[in-house]
Amino acid sequence: MSSTNSTTLEQAKMTEKQFPILGAKGKIKSVPWRLVEPHREQAMQNHRQSLEQLASRGGLCWVELFAVMQDWTWHEFEQFTKTR
């Protein structure tokens, strides 16, 4: 990726609303809010908090975010991990 494209991507990330990743290490500390928004109801079901509340408390860890974005309950996520 050219430095111009990299700069443009960084600028877009700075202006786009982000959802934080709780305890994130490394370069990726958030994801675009637009990726999480369609799964708002699942986040509420799994965590009994709105996306805004979760974000204000540091977001979701990668595992929690994965489950929410798959539209899985915790039980469904546990079943998935047992089969792996």
User: Tens of pLDDT along 63-75?
Assistant: 999 999 999 998 8
The pLDDT > 90 percentage for the chain reads 68
For 39-56, write each residue's pLDDT tens digit: 999 999 999 999 999 999
Q: Mean pLDDT, the chain, as a whole number?
A: 89
Q: Give the residue from 21, 48, 47, 51 showing the smallest Cα distance to 36.
A: 51
Residue 65, pLDDT score: 97
Q: Report domain extents, the chain.
A: 18-82
- Average pLDDT of span 1-5: 63
